Amino acid sequence: MNGAEFAKRLAGELPSQASEVGILRQLVRGEVVVSGDFAYDQARRVWNGMIDRRPGAIVYCAGTDDVVAAVKFARSRPLLVAVRAGGHNIGGASVCDGGLVIDLSRMKQIEVDPVKRTARAQAGLNLGEFDLATQAHGLATTMGVNADTGIAGLTLGGGFGKLGRKYGLTCDNLISVEIVTAEGRLLHVSATEHADLFWAIRGGGGNFGVVTTFEYRLFPVGPTLLAGSILHSYDRARDAMRFYQAFASSAPDELSLDAALAMTPSGERVLNISPCYIGPIEEGERVLKPLRTYGAPIQDQIAPRAYVEIQSAGDALFPRGRRYYWKAQFLRELSDPAIDVLLGSYASAPSGSLLVLQHVGGAIGRVPMTDTPYVNRDALYDCFPISIWDELEEDAPRIRWARELWDAMRPFSTGGVYANNLGEEGAERIEAAYGENYPRLLALKNKYDPTNFFRLNQNINPTPETTRGR
């Protein structure tokens, strides 16, 4: 029986579905949801409402033993597999048509060691849950800017956010993981155990196995930091963006300065600069003074805020279930011509669209490019237009706007892209995400997953066995 046949069987198109699901239910402690179950329509959904797939079954793993069982079950058929944690991948890679979704979202244990400043966190936690648990001890590590995102997908692809310039990428602060390989083996992986695999999973995404537990290094952070937003009107945005470029490119590591072209609730276009100072409030007041006294901002909401509040400040913009499209690329600087392109393009953006500049650099840029697969360390901004809408009929114009802006910004790009911001954009873009590290990743994919069992991801497609070594 081939994979496609089995996927059909699990999708209920062949008569023996019930017995196959019955076998799976006996093998795991967690819930198994299939088509026809009350929970199915909810269970097959991910964050992006554009994604409408119908897996054969979804297994909500209750623990690492369930992950091992699900991998072995899928492998022995064989069966198409998607691995889901927070469900935030923009292209919906964590859910499949037919086949089996291995869902980690109910595995949410976390242990924080405040003395060693480490955390062991199960893969089903989202960023908000992780931050709350670590902040209870006044600690944190780099995580992204939306509390609902899964720690798993974020960490495996790199991971940056407000703390990145000070403490490096999330994957730079990984001490070890527990991972279930394509053969169904459970491995403890660190700099000293299966070191090659440890290299691969720090940026190489879901290509190498299912990670069940992450161990992170933590740092004292907050609990209160100086952060918020400052708005400039669109007619003054050109000069404000030039000021922003100069300020962001000379910022200390403690200062993270994300920015966005955005629309107010009344539809007015604005430049929104969102600083966050990772250090004492008084020091932050001094460092942020030039930003706050520049020009004539229409709003200044910078104030001491709880770190966990800062981390979820943008959540309302990205609820689950709306339709989303984005296309990202890295920039080393915002030159005057690049600013003109951004402002010109955003002037005709459909309602609700955003143009985001996530500030990277700092400590991220001081880790050698080959230390982990994440290669885009020389960038200063991750630049991406985001379309957000609800109506199916709006898909084409919304996607077109984002792609056109991306195309127009191409001449200013480093050529690189963040693997975690890729949708289904093809092999060339995946190679662009890994640059000089791609051949090493490919060799490790050939070693750890030669049959491409884990293929629904930013896929490192293994070399066919017949041509290997030629």
Query: Looking at the chain, how many residues does it have?
Result: 470
* Residue with smaller CB distance to ligand FAD, 17 or 311: 311
* Residue with smaller CB distance to ligand FAD, 319 or 411: 319
The alpha-carbon radius of gyration of the chain (Å, integer) is 22
* Residue with smaller CB distance to ligand FAD, 6 or 318: 318
Residue 432, SS3 per DSSP? helix
Q: Which two tokens stand for residue 208?
A: 């190498």
The CB-of-193 to ligand FAD minimum distance in angstroms stands at 18
Residue of 383, 356, 336 lying closest to 238 (CA atoms): 336
The CB-of-426 to ligand FAD minimum distance in angstroms stands at 16
The secondary element (H helix, E strand) that includes residue 54 is none
Tell the residue number behind the tokens 């930003």, with chain if given.
291
Phi, psi of 336 (to 5 degrees): -60, -45
Nearest residue relative to ligand FAD (C-beta): 153
Provide the binding-site residues for ligand FAD, judged by CB under 6 A.
47, 83-89, 93-94, 104, 123, 144-146, 149-150, 152-154, 156-161, 205-206, 210-211, 318, 420-421, 456-457
DSSP secondary structure string for all residues of 3-25: HHHHHHHHTT-STTHHHHHHHHH
* Residue with smaller CB distance to ligand FAD, 193 or 340: 193
* Residue with smaller CB distance to ligand FAD, 84 or 429: 84
* Residue with smaller CB distance to ligand FAD, 289 or 366: 366
* Residue with smaller CB distance to ligand FAD, 17 or 376: 376
The CB-of-90 to ligand FAD minimum distance in angstroms stands at 6
Identify how many contiguous H helices and E strands the chain contains and give both numbers. Answer: 15, 21
The CB-of-403 to ligand FAD minimum distance in angstroms stands at 18
* Residue with smaller CB distance to ligand FAD, 372 or 420: 420
- Residues 313/148/151/374 CA torsion (nearest 10 deg): -60
The CB-of-384 to ligand FAD minimum distance in angstroms stands at 10
Q: What's the start-to-end Cα distance of the chain, in Å?
A: 32
Report how far residue 279's alpha carbon sits from residue 430's, in angstroms, rounded to the nearest whole number: 36
Q: Is the dihedral of CA 200, 204, 209, 213 positive or negative?
A: positive
The CB-of-269 to ligand FAD minimum distance in angstroms stands at 21
The CB-of-331 to ligand FAD minimum distance in angstroms stands at 16
The CB-of-214 to ligand FAD minimum distance in angstroms stands at 9
Would you report the helix, strand and coil content of the chain in percent, each value rounded to 5? 35, 20, 40
